């Protein structure tokens, strides 16, 4: 116990398993579910999956207002709905620029909100389904797999698509805004998510739902809970399980803004996509929060003899050449993160990796920001999110009476690895099984995994 809220810290240390053992694990669970199927289906709280940034497909179509910047962009025509993210054409340099200009958002000070590029319409397909969360491109399914392993594991527990299992894809480029500021796209997403939660509950004998989120999706889910009444939360939400949640942002985002970041996609010049990444409202939201990162030095710029912490982020944005980001950052992001991470009053379990080298300080040399950092100082985290951000709720909710919070660390598991690692999936299964009071299946899962 810390403070007045219920909290459990679990340091899960699971021995590595081979690929064959992981496959056998799925077979074992499938066999177990055959035995428990009737009981499991009648006892399950429905699960709604909310992905992280880049974790679902996006589609686009072009209208007559679209003005291609090159012949290549004209050739890559999208008059009808087709996949924009992820599309293998992004790997071909001329089309990388076309992709970037179609993904770019624009902040309009006169309306204090973000919009797509002129002539570009986008949508997140298959809302309510997990279809666009499984992989980012069905034609290269293995290379772009995202939540497929997690969904398969949920199936083995008795969850069925459209019955007890649902997905909530969204346009992850957009962020939320503080009270009094418009946020058309993301506010609509929260409305759709709320409606989906109510539908999932009503179609399952009014059982409250389990919201299972990854990364950025965790922030959206928490804001949804806090923007609705306690009576609504208590009626419709049983539990919030977050995976790799960047509660206080990441130093990685400062690298993205300064130098561009290819997300591991080969053959792509980070400078080509940097402007598009800077335009993303959600990326601006995920810059380090001063409350958690305090005054620690996060970026060093030797060429101009400057250091940057989370407290002088506006200066950082100006110095990297993104001065147009200062107004939306100060007007929308600063008030939003200043609101804090209010406790929602429903049980929360945070599952996250630890012990993975994670950038804590970026040192840029005489070449400036375009060439990338000459040195990176690493610390603890999940390879993407710093530990101070992963555990931010511990301090935020330390004195929140009645708030149930469980922090579960899975050593050696990365930010996205948590969606497919055998040990991490075991932890997720245990949490969901306990919420459903289906201890027999969770115990069977664990014992078989340990002996394989």
Pair of tokens at residue 71: 């012949």
The CA-based angle 410-414-320, given to 5 degrees, is: 135
pLDDT for 94 beyond 70 = yes
Pairing relation of β-strands 165-167 and 47-50? parallel
**Predicted local distance difference test score (pLDDT) of residue 275:** 96
In this predicted model, which residue has the larger pLDDT, 366 or 22? 366
In the residue annotation, 382 being an active-site residue is answered as yes
Same domain, 235 and 132: yes
How far apart (Å, rounded) are the C-alpha atoms in residues 159 and 118? Answer: 41
Same domain, 368 and 418: yes
- Is residue 2 in a domain? no
Four-residue CA torsion sign, 407, 410, 412, 418: negative
**Predicted local distance difference test score (pLDDT) of residue 92:** 86
347-390 pLDDT, tens digit per residue, is 999 999 999 999 999 999 998 999 899 999 999 999 999 999 99
The CA-based angle 53-68-77, given to 5 degrees, is: 75
In the residue annotation, 199 being an active-site residue is answered as no
137-156 pLDDT, tens digit per residue, is 999 999 999 999 999 999 99
Same domain, 106 and 234: no
Catalytic residue (choose from 5, 239, 415, 444):
415
184-195 pLDDT, tens digit per residue, is 999 999 999 999
**Predicted local distance difference test score (pLDDT) of residue 392:** 98
The CATH number of residue 50's host domain is: 3.40.50.1820
Report, as an integer, the average pLDDT of 177-205.
97
**Which of 104, 123, 142 marks a domain boundary?**
123
Of the ranges 103-117, 225-239, 387-401, 438-452, which one carries the lowest mean pLDDT score?
Answer: 438-452
- Is residue 1 in a domain? no
Same domain, 316 and 349: yes
Each residue of 303-316: b (16+ CB within 10 Å) or e?
A: eeeeebbbebbeeb
- Answer for the pair 436, 429: CB distance below 8 angstroms, yes or no: no
Catalytic residue (choose from 113, 171, 319, 382):
382
- pTM for the full predicted model: 0.89
Tell me the residue range of the domain where 70 lies. Answer: 58-123
Catalytic residue (choose from 186, 201, 215, 389):
215
Same domain, 94 and 135: no
In the residue annotation, 215 being an active-site residue is answered as yes
């Amino acid at each position: 116990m810390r403070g007045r809220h219920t909290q459990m810290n679990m340091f899960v240390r699971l021995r590595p398993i081979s690929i064959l053992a992981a496959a056998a694990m799925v077979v074992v669970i499938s066999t177990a579910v055959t035995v428990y199927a009737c009981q499991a289906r009648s006892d399950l709280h429905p699960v709604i999956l909310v992905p992280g940034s880049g974790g679902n497909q996006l589609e686009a179509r072009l209208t007559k207002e679209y003005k291609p910047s090159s012949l290549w962009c004209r050739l890559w025509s999208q008059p009808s709905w087709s996949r924009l993210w992820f599309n293998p054409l992004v790997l071909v340099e001329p089309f990388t620029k076309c992709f970037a200009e179609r993904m770019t958002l624009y902040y309009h000070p006169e309306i204090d909100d973000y919009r797509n590029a002129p002539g570009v319409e986008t949508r997140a397909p298959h809302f309510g389904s997990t279809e666009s969360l499984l992989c980012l491109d069905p034609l290269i399914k293995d290379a772009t797999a995202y939540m497929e392993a997690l969904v398969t594991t949920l199936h083995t527990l008795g969850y069925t698509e459209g019955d007890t299992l649902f997905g909530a894809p969204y346009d992850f480029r957009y962020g939320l805004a503080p009270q009094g500021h418009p946020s058309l796209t993301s506010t609509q997403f929260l409305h759709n998510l709320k409606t989906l939660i109510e539908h999932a509950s009503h179609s399952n004998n009014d059982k409250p739902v389990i919201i299972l989120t990854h990364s950025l999706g965790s922030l959206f889910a928490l804001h949804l809970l806090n923007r609705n009444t306690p009576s609504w939360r208590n009626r419709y939400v049983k539990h919030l399980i977050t995976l790799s949640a960047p509660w206080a942002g990441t130093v990685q985002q400062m690298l993205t803004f300064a130098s561009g970041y290819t997300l591991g996609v080969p053959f792509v010049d980070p400078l080509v996509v940097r402007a598009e990444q800077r335009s993303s409202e959600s990326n601006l939201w995920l810059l380090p929060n001063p409350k958690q990162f305090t005054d620690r030095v996060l970026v060093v710029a030797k060429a101009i003899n400057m250091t940057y912490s989370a407290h002088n982020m506006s200066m950082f944005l100006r110095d990297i050449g993104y001065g147009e980001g200062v107004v939306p950052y100060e007007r929308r992001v600063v008030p939003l993160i200043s609101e804090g991470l209010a406790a929602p009053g429903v049980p929360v379990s945070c599952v996250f990796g630890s012990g993975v080298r994670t950038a804590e300080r970026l040192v840029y040399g005489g070449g400036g920001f375009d060439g990338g950092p000459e040195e990176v100082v690493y610390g603890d985290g999940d390879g993407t999110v710093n530990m101070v951000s992963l555990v931010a709720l511990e301090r935020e909710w330390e004195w929140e009476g009645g708030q149930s919070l469980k922090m579960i660390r899975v050593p050696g598991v990365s930010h996205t690895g948590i969606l497919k690692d055998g040990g991490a999936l075991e932890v997720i299964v245990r949490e969901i099984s306990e919420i459903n009071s289906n201890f027999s299946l969770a115990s069977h899962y664990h014992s078989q995994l340990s002996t394989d």
